[in-house]
Amino acid sequence: MSRPADIMPAARSPIAPDRPAIPVPLRRLLLGAAPAWRRFLFAFASGASGALAMAPVNFFPIMIVALGAAVWLIDGAVDENPAFSGPALRRVAVLGWFWGFGYFVAGLWWLGAAFLVDAAQWAWALPLGVVGLPAVLAFFPALGFVLARLLWSRTPARILALSAGLGTTEYLRGHILTGFPWNLLGMALCGRDDLSQFASIVGIDGMTFLAIAIFAAPATWTDRGSVRGRLKLPTVFAAFALLGLGLFGFVRLPDGPAATVPNVRLGLIQPNLTDDDYFRPENAGEIIDNYLALSQKTFEAPANAPSFTPATHVIWPESAFPLILSRNPEALQQIDSGLPDDMPLITGAARQGEKLPGAQYPQYFNALQVVRNGEIVDSYDKVHLVPFGEYLPADFLLRAIGLTQFVHQIGGFSAGQERHLLHAPGLPPIAPLICYEAIFSGAVMPQGEVGERPGLFLNVSNDSWFGRTWGPYQHLAQARLRSVEEGIPLVRVANTGVSAVADAYGRILAQSKLGEEAALNVALPTALPRTPFSRQGPVFIALIWLVALAGAVIGVLARRAGNAAQSVL
């Protein structure tokens, strides 16, 4: 007796292609049986979960949820409309936008704190930072979803399509216009010392391609296929890749503490000084006295101390005081009288430059200056300024409608001409990184010095804008990764925290608490020889991208070949 055709088991070809199988609880949601807003809410929530993989939480397994959901979102869009039509691609883009919007809102919510520092002037604009910026940034993953869709196949190779597509737009986010590489997806692999060491070869951009592939792979676990067990291979490969990263880190990291530079101790001063009404020129003397009192703790032994090595250099943070140090001999004299003879001070300070022809005001620069015996002996001007924070893009237009930058500086800051080394007596050459400059992978090494390699990154910052939020921890996490990439130790001094020292492997050796006064007396770790990333970083990043792209294309071709063979049979 024959069975009805609609319940006969389908014939299975030995070369039948794999087919994505969206988990049953999500099938009705992702295939259009539910209202669109639920689908968008799922995309938003799954993207938001990925923020928990970033500092300070650093729960990297959650990225399996975020990127696995991205795979299923695109799977659902493909199942509903497999064509490459405009409406089909727009739907994928919208899903990618909601996914990215959730990721950026959850990861950058702390930006709202900056709008409340001067609430009377800026509270109205808080939605622009908390919602507006994430809404703009979400267009990058929206494009990433579309690029992935163009390479999509009903095979496990679609994981590489997501890596190639979303990884490409993450790279673009960090480089086009002024770039904003904050919380790149690769940072999910960089919260641990061992897993982050592979960045010494491929940098954060290469780690992003790897992270997307590794954490998206478990989404294929539910796929249907013709060969039992074959569909588990992407997850197995991902697990071995994660294990390989850990093993690489285990081999690369030394057993003991890093070597240190002889006869150098650094006094890192965190005054916990906020940008409130107290930070005014009339209080400058009192502010400097407070810095000097904290500095004294690093070079004068406390009573009954069993052993104490005094600091040889003192470092103060960005925006240390409300005056132009180079034009205030009284402040220079006050600093000189409060420090031991010949002790160098490295401090953040605004610097007044020349008044350009036709300009209403002279130029002002956000600078890092070396002071010794009451004189400024070297200076560096910040090159990569923060849009809307230190200057206004399209300045003439936005000022016409009443907008200004956050920093209370007439006309905003001007950008320095070029990155260069800073020299302080008794220290190796310094690669200065003022605040925001520390987040740009591959762009932190000064240019122009022949044969002179920095012995440390010095990152001074004023994170008081962001209060006791996730922001300062994320800033530190990205700054320390520059040490891993370049093999150069990091010294970080922040106004309210987090101040820290990391060795050339990115291991944190000393760290202050956020929102507290601190005076750290620390040794300076030595630098390593140049890393593979510092030599050929773009080449390694391009190779990883090409592997992901080639794998995705092979998946598409294999799918087409499988379809052709099945139609013949």
Say whether the peptide bond before residue 94 is cis (omega within 30 degrees of 0).
no
Model confidence at 14, pLDDT cuts 50, 70, 90, reads very low
Set 170, 190, 318, 437: catalytic member: 318
Structural domains of the chain, count: 2
Please, what's the b/e burial string for 50-89 (b: 16 or more CB within 10 A of its CB; e: otherwise)?
bbbbbbeebebebbbbbbbbbbbbbbbbbbeeeeeeeebb
198 and 277 part of one domain: no
3-class DSSP state of 58: coil
With beta carbons less than 8 A apart as the criterion, state whether 60 and 191 touch: yes
- 190 noted as active-site residue: no
Q: State mean pLDDT over 534-549.
A: 97
The pLDDT tens digits of the residues spanning 359-411 come to 778 899 999 999 999 999 999 999 999 887 776 665 555 554 555 555 655 55
Rounded to whole angstroms, the Cα distance separating 238 from 86 reads 33
205 and 336 part of one domain: no
347 and 394 part of one domain: yes
Residue at which a domain ends, from 221, 253, 285 = 253
402 and 502 part of one domain: yes
Between 68-72, 276-280, 370-374, 565-569, the lowest mean confidence (pLDDT) is in 565-569
With beta carbons less than 8 A apart as the criterion, state whether 463 and 475 touch: yes
Q: State mean pLDDT over 517-546.
A: 97
Set 170, 190, 382, 485: catalytic member: 382
Here the tokens at position 159 are 């994981």
351 and 203 part of one domain: no
Model confidence at 15, pLDDT cuts 50, 70, 90, reads very low
DSSP strands (E only) in 472-558:
490-494, 500-502, 508-511, 518-525
Set 170, 190, 390, 435: catalytic member: 435
Q: State mean pLDDT over 16-28.
A: 70
Rounded to whole angstroms, the Cα distance separating 171 from 140 reads 10
Q: Is residue 558 part of a domain?
A: no
348 and 451 part of one domain: yes
Q: Is residue 222 part of a domain?
A: yes
Do the bridges between strand 508-511 and strand 500-502 make them parallel or antiparallel, or are there none, so unpaired? antiparallel
188 and 302 part of one domain: no
Rounded to whole angstroms, the Cα distance separating 358 from 355 reads 8
Q: State mean pLDDT over 7-36.
A: 63
Residue at which a domain ends, from 525, 543, 564 = 525
The reported pLDDT for the residue numbered 117 is 78
Name the maximum alpha-carbon separation found in the chain: 105
Distances 448 to 119, 143, 418, 420, 489 between C-alpha atoms, Å: 43, 37, 9, 7, 21
Do the bridges between strand 364-372 and strand 375-381 make them parallel or antiparallel, or are there none, so unpaired? antiparallel
244 and 299 part of one domain: no
With beta carbons less than 8 A apart as the criterion, state whether 128 and 110 touch: no
Q: Is residue 88 part of a domain?
A: yes
Q: How many CB atoms lie within 10 A of CB 243?
A: 10
Do the bridges between strand 518-525 and strand 260-270 make them parallel or antiparallel, or are there none, so unpaired? antiparallel
The reported pLDDT for the residue numbered 276 is 73
156 and 272 part of one domain: no
With beta carbons less than 8 A apart as the criterion, state whether 548 and 164 touch: yes
Q: State mean pLDDT over 262-277.
A: 91
Rounded to whole angstroms, the Cα distance separating 206 from 198 reads 9
Asked whether residue 475 carries a pLDDT value surpassing 90, the answer given is yes
The pLDDT tens digits of the residues spanning 417-450 come to 999 999 999 999 999 999 999 999 999 998 755 5
347 and 375 part of one domain: yes
**CATH code, 266:** 3.60.110.10
Q: Is residue 274 part of a domain?
A: yes
Model confidence at 412, pLDDT cuts 50, 70, 90, reads confident
Q: Is residue 544 part of a domain?
A: no
3-class DSSP state of 528: coil
Q: Is residue 92 part of a domain?
A: yes
- Nearest Cα neighbor of 320 from 356, 349, 295 is 349
Q: State mean pLDDT over 197-208.
A: 98
pTM: predicted TM-score of the whole model, two decimal places: 0.92
With beta carbons less than 8 A apart as the criterion, state whether 80 and 22 touch: no
**What length does the chain have?**
569
The pLDDT tens digits of the residues spanning 338-365 come to 999 999 999 999 999 987 777 778 899 9
Asked whether residue 294 carries a pLDDT value surpassing 50, the answer given is yes
Q: Is residue 569 part of a domain?
A: no
Computed over every residue of the chain, the mean pLDDT equals 89
- 354 noted as active-site residue: no
Q: Is residue 292 part of a domain?
A: yes
238 and 267 part of one domain: no
The reported pLDDT for the residue numbered 6 is 42
- Nearest Cα neighbor of 216 from 442, 64, 347 is 64
485 and 467 part of one domain: yes
Residue at which a domain ends, from 212, 235, 253 = 253
Here the tokens at position 552 are 């995705």
The pLDDT tens digits of the residues spanning 138-196 come to 999 999 999 999 999 989 999 999 999 999 999 999 999 889 999 999 999 999 999 99
**Which residue is it, tokens 């690669």?**
431
- 382 noted as active-site residue: yes
**What domain range is 311 assigned to?**
260-525
